[in-house]
Amino acid sequence: MSSESLADQKADSPAPGAVRRPGVYDKTGKPPCSPTKVRVNFTVDEELYHNFRQFCKHNGLKMSQVVEVL
């Protein structure tokens, strides 16, 4: 019998019926999440930006969370 235990051998092999496709899954073996958000870049008035930032800071909010709710 080899020096590797049966548990070590099973840990390295994929689950029965699983298809291994290199590059499709990350190191956890889970399929990648589909993107649900898009990064955008836009210009706003400086005074509006500072007022919005102060509002969020005063209320303990993150600016991105407030925008996502809109």
Amino acid at the residue 55: F
Q: What count of other Cβ atoms lies within 10 Å of the Cβ of residue 24? A: 9
pLDDT of the residue at 29:
74
pLDDT of the residue at 15:
60
Q: Number of structural domains, the chain?
A: 1
pLDDT of the residue at 38:
82
pLDDT digits (tens, 9 = 90+) for 23-63: 566 677 777 777 787 888 889 999 999 999 999 999 999 99
Tell how far CA 64 is from the center of its chain: 16
Does 69 reside within a domain?
Answer: yes
Tell how far CA 1 is from the center of its chain: 43
Does 24 reside within a domain?
Answer: no
Q: Given its phi and psi angles, is residue 67 left (phi above 0), alpha (psi -120 to 50 degrees) or beta?
A: alpha
Does 62 reside within a domain?
Answer: yes
Does 64 reside within a domain?
Answer: yes
Regarding predicted confidence, which is higher, 48 or 3? Answer: 48
Structure confidence at residue 10 as a pLDDT band (50, 70, 90):
low
CA angle 6, 8, 14 (to 5 degrees): 95
The boundaries of the domain holding residue 63 are 36-70
pTM of the model: 0.48
